[in-house]
Amino acid sequence: MKGERAKKVFLYFWRILVIVLLNVMILLMLWNSGAAYALSKYGSTGDEVTQIQTKLQQLGYYSGDLDGIFGTGTKNAVLAFQRDQGLDADGIAGKNTLSALGITSGGSSQGGYGGFSESDVNLLASIISAEARGEPYEGQVAVGAVIMNRIAHPSFPNTLSGVIYQPGAFSCLDDGGINAPVADSAYKAAREAINGSDPSGGAIYYYNPAKTTNKWIWSREVIAVIGAHRFAL
C-alpha cells in the first residue's frame, strides 16, 4: 500500500512539474517573440530607426533629421501615427507598427539598408555627389531616388551597380567626376534614397536643361523641378 501511495504521489508531482515547465517554455517563447518585434523605441539607434523616420516623414508625421536616433521627436511621431492607425499608442515601433509603416521587422539584417550593403551606399553617394554637386539637399536625394526607381523599372537593370554602370547612363563615369571627393551630404542623401525617400515623385530620368545636349530627353514628361534639375518619366 505504501509503495502504491508513494507512486501516486510521485506521479502527481511529476505532472505538476511537467505543467510548470511547459508554462515556462510558453512564456519564454512569447517573450522572445515580443523581443524580436519590439525593435525600436526611445533611445534606440540604427538603420531601422532611419527607415521609421523616413516613412513617418513621407506620411507627414515627422519633420526632424533622418539621423537614425529614436529621440523625442521620433517617439511623438510614432505615437501620432499609432493613434491614427488605431494601434496601441505606446511609442514603440513593434511588429504591428512596423507592418503599418510598410517596414519589414529586422530590416537591418541585410546590410542595414533593405538589402543594400555599405559599399552600395558608398557607390550611390559617389554618383549623387558627382551628378548633383552644388544642388540643394532635396535635389541630391532626388537624384539618388531616380537611380533607385530605375532598379524597380523593367526598362533598366535590376541592381544598383547595373543601373549605375549601364553604358551612357551617367556622364560622370566618362569624365571622371565620380572620382572626385564625395560630399558628406551625398552619403546622407544616398541612405535616405535607399530607405525610400523620393522627392522626384517617381522619376526615372533627370537632366539640367542648361547643360544637356540630348534632344530626346526633352520629350520626357517633367514631373518635378528641384534646383537646376528637371525630373521626368
Higher-confidence residue of 8 and 203: namely 203
Instruction: Tell me the mean pLDDT in the region 14-34.
Output: 63
Of 186 and 102, the structure prediction assigns the larger pLDDT to: 186
**d(C-alpha 116, C-alpha 120), whole Å:** 6
24-63 in b/e form (b: 16+ CB < 10 A) is: eeeeeeeeeeeeebbbbbeebeebbbbbbbbbbbeeebbe
Q: Is 5 exposed, middle or buried (0-12, 13-18, 19+ CB in 10 A)?
A: exposed
The mean-pLDDT minimum among 19-23, 48-52, 88-92, 211-215 falls in 19-23
Q: List 206's β-bridge partners, or say none.
A: 231
- Containing domain of residue 170, as a range? 118-232
134-152 pLDDT, tens digit per residue, is 999 999 999 999 999 998 8
83 and 161 assigned to the same domain: no
Residues 173 and 194 in one domain: yes
Question: Which pLDDT does position 223 carry in this prediction?
Answer: 95
In a domain? residue 205: yes
What gap in Å lies between CA 159 and CA 151, rounded to an integer? 6
129 and 178 co-located in one domain = yes
The whole-number average pLDDT for the span 186-199 is 90
At residue 2, the pLDDT reads: 56
pLDDT at position 9: 64
| Residue 22 forms part of a structural domain | no
User: What is the residue-averaged pLDDT of the chain?
Assistant: 82
Question: Which residues neighbour 3 within 8 Å (Cβ) at sequence distance 6 or greater?
Answer: none
Q: Which residue, among 173, 61, 167, 73, has the nearest Cα to 127 in the 3D structure? A: 173
Q: What global pTM score does this model have?
A: 0.54
pLDDT confidence bin for 68, thresholds 50/70/90: confident
Residues paired with residue 116 on neighbouring β-strands, in sequence order: 113
Average pLDDT over residues 158-169: 88
131 and 85 within one domain: no
C-alpha cell at 151: 532598379
* Residue-level pLDDT at 3: 61
- Residues 122, 126, 129, 130: what is their CA dihedral angle, to the nearest 10 degrees? -170
Q: Which of 56, 78, 109 is the last residue of a domain?
A: 109
Q: What is the separation of C-alpha 183 from the centre of its chain, rounded to a whole number of angstroms?
A: 21
Residue 66 domain flag? yes
Half-sphere exposure of 224 (CA within 13 A, CB side): 20
Per-residue model confidence as pLDDT tens digits over 70-100: 888 898 999 999 998 888 888 888 888 888 8
Task: Find the helix packing angle between 137-152 and 118-131, rounded to 10°.
Answer: 120
Q: Let me know whether 140 and 164 are in one domain.
A: yes
Residues 197 and 216 grouped into a single domain: yes
pLDDT reported for residue 232:
94
Residue 40 β-bridge partners: 93
Residue whose cell numbers read 551630404: 185
So what's the pLDDT on residue 115? 63
Domain boundary among 66, 88, 109: 109
My answer on whether 132 and 81 are in the same domain is no
